[in-house]
Structures are given as C-alpha cells and as structure tokens.
A and B are shown apart, each in its own frame.
Chain A
C-alpha cells in the first residue's frame, strides 16, 4: 500500500539542540518529495523539493536529504522561531496516474 509516515509525531528541543525529522515512504516510481512548514492557523509554506536519492537541499538552519525509502529534515541549532509543524508530501506514479500523498506532520517546539 502506498504510504507516507512522518516521525516523530511531536518533538520538543532546547534552543541550539540539533535534531532530525523523518519522512518514510512506501511508494514505487517516486517523482518528488516535498517539505513544507506550517504555522498554527496558517497554510503550509513550501520549503524544499527533492527528486532523487542522494539529493540534498539547504535553507538557513534546515537541510533536507533523500534516500530511496525516506527523507530527513535536519535542523541545526534551532531557534524558537523554528517552532512549527513540518509536513512532507510524496509525488509518485500510480499505474497510469500520478498521485500526491501527504504525511500527518511532525510538530516541533523549540524552547528558548
């Protein structure tokens, strides 16, 4: 079954304490994996797109990596303003169609 799973569901860090969020997927024919950030009461904000295993992208304190089965969002020396829910979405082939599946997100809280 095509599935996208994010872990952990929630993560609490101290300011400056680096960590990683995980997005694992069981789909065939990956076309792309997207990471978004969502603040409470707002729409998701696009962060990265990764297309193939081994690809990495960086933006400020965030770095996204991709393997054949999962993606990691590494947060280096986080600040309280990094607190948000981080969502991943996977675009893949499904027969003759292409589909997009969203994960449930990881809620990140960074304490000062």
Chain B
C-alpha cells in the first residue's frame, strides 16, 4: 500500500498525559500537513512541512502542540498535557509541490484521540 498511513488509529488518554502520533506520507511527496477535525467541521489546519522544514504553524495551535519531520520523511505530532478539548480526529496529508503552492492532498485514515 503506497498511501498515507497514520499510527495509532485510536488513542484514549487521560487529561494531562502526553500523546504522540505518527504519519508516514506517500514516499515521493515533499509536503506534509497536519489537520484537526471535529464532528461536523471541515479540517482545521495545524501545520505543514516542506521536506524537513516546518513552514507554517496555525496561530490557533497552542505551545502544547509540536510537530517534527526529521529527514523529510515521516512526521510526528505531539500533544503535551492533553485537555478534553483536544479530543478530535487528527489527520495527516501529503502532496507534491513547490513552496507556496497547494496541489491535491492525499489524506491518511486519521488518528481518533479521546481525552478522558
């Protein structure tokens, strides 16, 4: 399977714990995006990488969120000190394209986070 993969698919945690999600993009794609989505809403942009460089981060994203993409391959999204409001589907997408361009994105299946 050459699509975007995410791990884990589901995560249940207690408030205050840290969680980390992984995304493996399509291998030839140089752009990687993280989104958050709650029920009935469209994807909410969190951050994106061009190769290993994190080029943009949403102003809505608190300091508890951090993302990395070492060597421009897979990416991780960490949430520290989780809150109940962090409960959502976290989506990863990848695409090919130059800086400042947006081409069609290919999404992974998402990680469903539940914070108790």
Cβ–Cβ contact B45 & A100, under 8 A? yes
Residues B104 and A34 in contact, CB atoms below 8 Å apart: yes
For B89, list chain A residues within 8 Å (CB): 41
Let me know if A46 and B105 touch, CB within 8 A. yes
Evaluate contact between A105 and B42: CB separation under 8 angstroms.
Answer: yes
Query: Most chain-B CB neighbours within 10 Å: which of A43, A45, A102?
Result: A43
B41 in contact with A98 (CB, 8 Å): no
B43 touches A91 (CB 8 A): no
Q: How many residues of A contact B (CB 8 A)?
A: 22
Instruction: Check if A87 is an interface residue, CB within 8 A of chain B.
Output: yes
Residue ID in chain B nearest A4 by CB atoms: B42
Q: Is A65 an interface residue (CB 8 A)?
A: no
Whether the Cβ atoms of B40 and A44 lie closer than 8 Å is no
Complex A-B: 20 CB contacts under 8 Å? A31-B102, A41-B112, A43-B4, A43-B93, A43-B107, A43-B108, A43-B109, A44-B43, A44-B93, A46-B104, A46-B105, A46-B107, A49-B103, A87-B42, A87-B43, A98-B102, A100-B45, A102-B45, A103-B42, A107-B40
Known: A43-B4, A44-B107, A105-B41. 19 other contacts (CB 8 A): A32-B102, A41-B89, A41-B110, A41-B112, A43-B93, A43-B109, A43-B110, A44-B43, A44-B91, A46-B107, A87-B42, A97-B100, A98-B100, A98-B101, A100-B45, A100-B102, A102-B45, A104-B42, A107-B40
